[in-house]
Every structure is written in structure tokens, then in C-alpha cells.
């Protein structure tokens, strides 16, 4: 990482340094909260977790080569340097904000109710055709993950593509204070995290907190097909640029040809050009992701040929609309997370299959008091699409099953847990089936994908 001394870190965290004064001028090599990732010269930040308190691991990290620890505990006359702070979690954010300010790098911040990760992957794939890009990995998009992502930025990086996920008011403000994006992208305003944000207007308010700490000379990119975003006026006075399918969008897609589970062909229109490209990942939402990638690419100076190459180079991540072909089944692995909008989008993808369709759906979390109606709505949607067998797993998913039955779905099953489904898997699924697997992360549905892969035989 870029140079940062212990003295500088102490000031940034408003802490008190304890240890050899000569070491205060030494630079750390990395910052981590994971004792397993400590390398020579690391700064270890002791975070109190649900099961493990990082403070108990400080001696171990020193033996592994850490230079210094950040601690909420007074460690007394410790035989190693440490910085005493009031809160390690706050110090993590303060230090990341300080480090970001020292970097000469363009940052693309991405948020939205659905599609943050797939949009992030698309934008990073496009920008990688010209720039050295760092992107958010995994689910490192919250108040712990974002700082750790920022600390991964090195001097060779030219652009950072940062995913920013929230569940309550004020979180985006704290994330934006760290990221300070030059380009802000919002994918949509859907129904997610309603326990705290209450309704779509609340979600819009929370997501757009991002603009408070963006580059005042930056750009805002919004999905012009989303009713809430299309009519939103940023308080910072910047005029949004829209991407989507509508004629009012500066970056839009035309002549969209659905190739089923093989993806989509489309013509991409910019303010001064047009080009064709193939998107290998299925789903209409991927067209919007590609338009977002096109818009960011053009704002950062890429040519149409570079943007096309980036769109066509994108491959799916495990758990994110990942198509797995086995000897017996075609599996759509989209089980990383779920809310009503993403459930419907994934069902749309499944409905494109030219085989018998089976959806294995689980509970959706954080939907607030309206969770029953939102689950039933997904079940009705699956029935309306003609999904031929719907397998619902979990207590809340019983409402998906109820909605599907109300709408006349031909075959609906409900199980309280995965084991009940596994006991009847052979009876329910048939060779040649196309199978969607999707639920909130808490349901741990990757286990179902693994079982289906083993049952289906060799992947192709």
C-alpha cells in the first residue's frame, strides 16, 4: 500500500501511540483485521466480532510479523508497539478515509437495491481494457469491507470500482466519506432492507446520500428506466446522466435480441456512436449493467471497441447468475442473496429455458412488516411465468408457495429446511431440467448447488 507511518496512522485515528518512538516513523506494509492475513510489517486492527475478539489475537499477530496493533484495550507495557483508540471500528473508517485522501485515483462508486455486484463486475471488466483496476471483492461493501478494500489500493492502480451496500440511513454517508467517488452509479430503487428504510422513498433517500461526499466536479449515472431515479434531482446540483432502454437515456440499448440462457445481443447507443456486442450472462438486467459499463467507459475515455471487448469478456461469478451445465441438469446458481426484485429477475432468466423449468427458492430477509405479501408476490410471479415446478424452502418461503398455488402453479412443494428437500430430490427433479437456485444469504443455498452438481454429473 502507499506509504503510511505509525505516527501518521496515530494522528488519523486520533489515538495514543505506545512503543519505541523510533518505530513511529516506520511505514506499515498492509492493514488487516484478519490475523490469518498478517504479513511482515502489517497493521493489525483488533475488531470485536460475534465469536472472536481480535484483541485476544494481538500477540499471535506480532509473532506473525505485524509491526503494530490498533487496540481498544490498554495493553500496558507491551513488548511491541500499539495504538490505543476509543473504537477500533471507527478507527478503521477514519484511517481508510485518510488513506483515500492521499490517493491520486479515480473512484467509481456503485449502489442500488439490485444488481450492485453484477454492475460492478461489468464496469470493472470494461475499464480493465485500458486501466489497471481494483474492484470490490466478495461482499466487502459495508462499513468494514469498504475500508479494507480501500487499503488494497496500490500506487499502480488507476481506477477503483467500489460497491457500496447499506441497510439503514446514515450508512451511505459514512461509506461515501471514505470512498469519495468521482463517478456515482445507482442501479435501481427496489424493495430491500425495508425493516429500516420502510419504503422505496426511504431507499432512494438512503442511497443518494452517496452524493454528499462525491467529487463536486464528478458525474452521477442513474438508471433512466427506474421511476424513482428518473425523477430524482440531486441536491448537489449535478445533472444526472441516464442509462437504460428509454429514448431519454443518453446511453441506451436498442435491437435487444434475447438468446435465452446463452445471453443477449444488443446495439449500444452513446451520444455520438453506436456498436453491437454480445452479453454472455443471461437476463434483461445484464443489458442495463452493460449500459452502465458503457457510460462509465465513455466518461473515462474508452473507445467503443474497448467497451465492446469489456462487455464480451465478462464471465459470471459463483452465486451470481452463474450458469452450470452438468450431464443431467442446467443449474442457474444465483444463491448469493435475494430480494423481491432480484427474485423476479432470476425467474425471468429461468423462464427463457427451452426445457422443463424448476425454481428452488428460499426465504428473503430484511423485508419488514410486509414480508408475507412480498413473498407471496414472488410466488404469483413464478406461476404467471409458467415455471413448471416450484420448490420453496424455509419458514417465510411458505408464503411463496401459497402465492404460487393461488395463481395456479402446476406443481408447488414446501419444505421447512433443506434436508426435507434433499430427501425428495430424486422424485422432484428430472433429467434435462433447468433449475434456478436462489435465496437470501442466510439460507446457505450453495449447499443445494453443490448437491445438484454432484447429482447432475460432470460439469461442461
Closest CA relative to residue 35, chosen from 10, 53, 17: 53
What are 82's three cell numbers? 500499539
- The answer to whether 118 is annotated as binding is yes
Query: Can you tell me the distance from the alpha carbon of 146 to that of 178, in angstroms, rounded to the nearest whole number?
Result: 8
Closest CA relative to residue 293, chosen from 318, 265, 314, 322: 314
β-pair type (273-279, 389-393): unpaired
What is the phi/psi pair of residue 434, to 5°? -100, 125
Query: Can you tell me the distance from the alpha carbon of 349 to that of 282, in angstroms, rounded to the nearest whole number?
Result: 6
Strands of 281-371, DSSP E: 322-325, 330-333, 357-362
- The answer to whether 112 is annotated as binding is yes
Q: What number of other Cβ atoms are within 10 A of residue 451's Cβ?
A: 15
Closest CA relative to residue 135, chosen from 157, 155, 160: 160
Q: pTM of the predicted model, to two decimals?
A: 0.81
- The answer to whether 108 is annotated as binding is no
What is the rounded end-to-end Cα distance, in angstroms, of the chain? 40
Q: In what helix (H) or strand (E) does residue 395 lie, and over which residues does it extend?
A: none
Cell numbers 474508452: residue = 302
Q: Kindly report the length of the chain.
A: 460
Query: Can you tell me the distance from the alpha carbon of 179 to that of 177, in angstroms, rounded to the nearest whole number?
Result: 6
Question: How does 213-227 read in b/e, with b if 16+ C-beta sit within 10 Å?
Answer: bbeeebbbbbbbbbe
Query: Can you tell me the distance from the alpha carbon of 145 to that of 116, in angstroms, rounded to the nearest whole number?
Result: 15
Closest CA relative to residue 388, chosen from 359, 349, 413: 359
- The answer to whether 114 is annotated as binding is yes
Query: Which residues, at least 6 apart from 379, have a Cβ–Cβ distance to it below 8 Å?
Result: 390, 392, 399, 400, 401, 402, 403, 404, 405, 406, 407, 409, 412
214-230: pLDDT as tens digits: 999 999 999 999 999 99
Alpha helices (H) along 235-284? none
What is the phi/psi pair of residue 387, to 5°? -60, 130
- DSSP tally for the chain: helices H, then strands E: 16, 20
Query: Can you tell me the distance from the alpha carbon of 337 to that of 441, in angstroms, rounded to the nearest whole number?
Result: 5
Digit-by-digit pLDDT tens for the chain (460 residues) are 678 999 999 999 999 999 999 999 999 999 999 999 999 999 999 999 888 999 999 999 999 999 999 999 999 999 999 999 999 999 999 999 999 999 999 999 999 988 888 899 999 999 999 999 999 997 789 999 999 999 999 989 999 999 998 888 999 999 999 999 999 999 999 776 666 777 888 999 999 999 999 999 999 999 999 999 999 999 888 999 999 999 999 999 999 998 888 889 999 999 999 999 999 988 888 999 999 999 999 999 999 999 999 999 998 776 677 889 999 999 999 988 888 988 998 999 899 898 999 999 999 998 988 999 999 999 999 999 999 999 999 999 999 999 999 999 999 999 999 999 999 999 999 999 999 999 999 999 999 999 999 998 766 5
Domains and CATH numbers, the chain: 6-88 (3.40.1390.10), 103-313 (3.40.1190.10), 322-456 (3.90.190.20)
Cell numbers 473507445: residue = 303
Going 182 to 187 to 193 to 196, the CA torsion angle's sign is positive
- The answer to whether 113 is annotated as binding is yes
Q: How far is CA 109 from the centre of its chain?
A: 11
Q: What number of other Cβ atoms are within 10 A of residue 325's Cβ?
A: 14
Query: Can you tell me the distance from the alpha carbon of 198 to that of 191, in angstroms, rounded to the nearest whole number?
Result: 9
Cell numbers 441506451: residue = 252
- The answer to whether 115 is annotated as binding is yes
- The answer to whether 276 is annotated as binding is no
Amino acid at each position: 500500500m502507499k506509504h503510511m507511518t505509525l505516527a501518521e496512522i496515530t494522528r488519523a485515528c486520533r489515538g495514543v501511540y505506545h512503543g519505541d518512538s523510533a518505530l513511529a516513523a516506520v511505514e506499515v506494509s498492509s492493514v488487516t483485521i484478519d490475523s490469518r492475513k498478517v504479513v511482515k510489517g502489517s497493521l493489525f486492527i483488533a475488531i470485536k466480532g460475534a465469536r472472536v475478539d481480535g484483541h485476544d489475537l494481538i500477540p499471535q499477530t506480532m509473532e506473525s510479523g505485524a509491526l503494530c496493533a490498533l487496540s481498544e484495550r490498554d495493553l500496558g507495557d507491551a513488548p511491541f508497539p500499539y495504538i490505543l483508540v476509543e473504537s477500533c471500528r471507527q478507527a478503521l473508517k477514519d484511517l481508510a478515509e485518510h488513506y483515500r485522501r492521499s490517493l491520486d485515483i479515480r473512484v467509481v462508486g456503485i449502489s442500488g437495491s439490485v444488481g450492485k455486484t453484477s454492475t460492478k463486475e461489468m464496469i470493472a471488466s470494461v475499464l480493465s481494457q485500458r486501466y489497471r483496476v481494483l474492484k470490490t471483492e466478495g461482499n466487502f461493501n459495508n462499513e468494514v469491507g469498504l475500508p479494507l478494500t480501500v487499503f488494497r489500493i496500490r500506487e499502480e492502480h488507476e481506477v477503483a470500482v467500489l460497491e457500496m451496500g447499506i441497510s439503514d440511513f446514515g450508512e451511505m454517508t459514512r461509506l461515501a466519506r471514505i470512498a469519495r467517488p468521482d463517478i456515482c452509479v445507482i442501479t435501481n430503487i427496489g424493495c430491500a432492507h425495508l425493516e429500516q428504510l420502510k419504503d422505496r422513498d426511504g431507499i432512494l433517500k438512503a442511497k443518494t446520500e452517496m452524493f454528499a461526499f462525491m467529487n463536486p466536479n464528478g458525474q452521477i449515472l442513474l438508471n433512466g428506466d427506474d421511476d424513482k431515479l428518473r425523477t430524482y434531482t440531486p441536491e448537489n446540483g449535478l445533472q444526472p446522466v441516464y442509462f437504460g432502454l428509454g429514448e431519454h437515456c443518453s446511453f441506451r440499448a436498442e435491437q435487444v435480441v434475447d438468446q435465452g440462457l446463452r445471453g443477449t445481443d444488443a446495439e449500444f447507443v452513446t451520444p455520438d456512436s453506436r456498436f453491437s456486442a454480445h452479453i454472455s450472462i443471461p437476463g434483461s438486467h445484464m443489458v442495463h449493467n452493460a449500459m452502465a459499463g458503457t457510460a462509465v467507459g465513455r466518461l473515462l475515455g474508452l473507445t467503443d471497441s474497448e467497451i465492446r471487448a469489456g462487455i464480451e469478456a465478462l464471465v459470471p461469478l459463483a452465486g451470481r447468475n452463474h450458469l452450470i451445465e452438468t450431464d443431467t441438469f442446467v443449474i442457474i446458481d444465483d444463491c448469493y442473496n435475494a430480494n423481491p426484485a432480484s427474485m423476479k429477475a432470476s425467474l425471468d432468466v429461468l423462464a427463457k429455458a427451452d426445457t422443463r423449468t424448476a425454481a428452488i427458492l428460499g426465504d428473503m430477509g430484511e423485508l419488514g412488516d410486509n414480508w408475507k405479501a412480498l413473498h407471496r408476490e414472488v410466488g404469483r410471479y413464478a406461476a404467471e411465468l409458467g415455471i413448471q415446478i416450484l420448490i420453496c424452502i424455509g419458514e417465510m418461503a411458505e408464503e411463496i408457495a401459497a402465492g404460487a398455488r393461488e395463481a395456479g402453479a402446476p406443481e408447488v412443494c414446501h419444505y421447512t429446511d433443506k434436508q426435507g428437500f434433499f430427501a425428495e430430490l430424486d422424485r422432484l427433479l428430472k433429467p434435462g431440467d433447468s433449475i434456478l437456485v436462489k435465496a437470501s444469504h442466510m439460507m446457505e443455498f450453495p449447499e443445494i448447488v453443490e448437491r445438484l452438481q454432484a447429482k447432475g454429473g460432470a460439469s461442461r
